Copies of this chain bind each other. A is one copy, B any other.
Amino acid sequence: MGEAILKRERVRDHLLELIETHPAGAPIPAERVLCQQLSVSRPTVRSAVEELVNTGLLVRQHGRGTFVARAKITQEMVSGTGSMSLPQAGGTWESRVLEHARIPAGARVGRRLRLSPAAEIHYIARLRLVDGEPMALEYLHVPAFVAPGLTLHDMESGDFYERLREHGVHVLEAVQSIEPTVTNESEAALLSVPVLAPALLFERLTTDAEGRQVEYVHSIYRGDRYRIVSRLTLGDSPRNTVDVQARVGNDPLA
């Protein structure tokens, strides 16, 4: 086991050296070149490269080449107490509303929001993009009583939480669940990734100072672009933060 008998491992180790000695965004030799250098076949090289692409260390681009993945950017999604900012990474975020309706909560959402299934809620599904590239799907559910006159524009704009505060709703946040998952067909289509691509699912239940559930969010984030770090720090100053480390953009060059 000590020696690297497998050619595939030998190739992988060679690639790891290249990755360590090259700056982010630098190209590595073409697959056919690596074949000659290491005296292995192309499928073997491709297999090794694929492994490192899956772990996020390399990036492949069709007619261009293979590159060392760029460093990840840390962004803060939720910060401080009672104030929330929308996730923003090193790029231009925009939202595209896919669906918007005022509907009964239903069993699943009603249970989470502690409403009867017949209670009315605002429902909005939106696609979030960075620099025009799909990044996440968000499904928001807000009880109608929280914001009776909520408009589409209110939910679309980043000022949603400020609007709530104007209504006397002081939000406290609870990240309820974060888990790795894979995309289903519709999610894959909307996010422009393959079916079964790794993704991150989170459910967030937002509570106000009086213990009322004021928002339930269900999100699917592209796993090839995001890493989740969830922090809950108790102690002197209560504070919840969720950092999303994102690698943004297809351009491997700085």
Contact check, B228 vs A179: say whether CB atoms are below 8 A apart: yes
From A121-129, A151-159, A230-238, A246-254, give the one contacting chain B: A230-238
Contact check, B55 vs A182: say whether CB atoms are below 8 A apart: yes
Contact check, B178 vs A230: say whether CB atoms are below 8 A apart: yes
| Chain A contacts with B in 160-177, Cβ cutoff 8 A | 172, 174-177
Complex Cα distance, B252 from A89, in Å, reads: 42
Contact check, B229 vs A178: say whether CB atoms are below 8 A apart: yes
Q: Find chain B residues with CB under 8 A from A63 CB.
A: none
Q: List 19 A-B contacts (CB under 8 A).
A: A12-B196, A52-B196, A55-B196, A172-B234, A174-B233, A174-B234, A175-B230, A176-B231, A176-B233, A177-B230, A178-B229, A178-B230, A179-B228, A180-B180, A180-B228, A205-B233, A207-B234, A211-B234, A211-B236
Whether a CB of chain B sits under 8 angstroms from the CB of A75 is no
Contact check, B231 vs A177: say whether CB atoms are below 8 A apart: yes
Chain A interface SS verdict (over half): strand
Q: Find chain B residues with CB under 8 A from A131 CB.
A: none
Q: Find chain B residues with CB under 8 A from A180 CB.
A: 180, 227-228
Whether a CB of chain B sits under 8 angstroms from the CB of A85 is no
CB-based nearest B residue for A114: B235
Count of residues in A whose CB is under 8 Å from the partner chain: 31
CB-based nearest B residue for A13: B195
Whether a CB of chain B sits under 8 angstroms from the CB of A81 is no
Could you mark each residue 217-233 of chain A with 1 if its beta carbon is under 8 Å from any beta carbon of chain B, else 0? 00000000001111111
Whether a CB of chain B sits under 8 angstroms from the CB of A43 is yes
Q: Find chain B residues with CB under 8 A from A213 CB.
A: 235
Q: Find chain B residues with CB under 8 A from A228 CB.
A: 178-180
Complex Cα distance, B230 from A176, in Å, reads: 7
Contact check, B174 vs A232: say whether CB atoms are below 8 A apart: yes
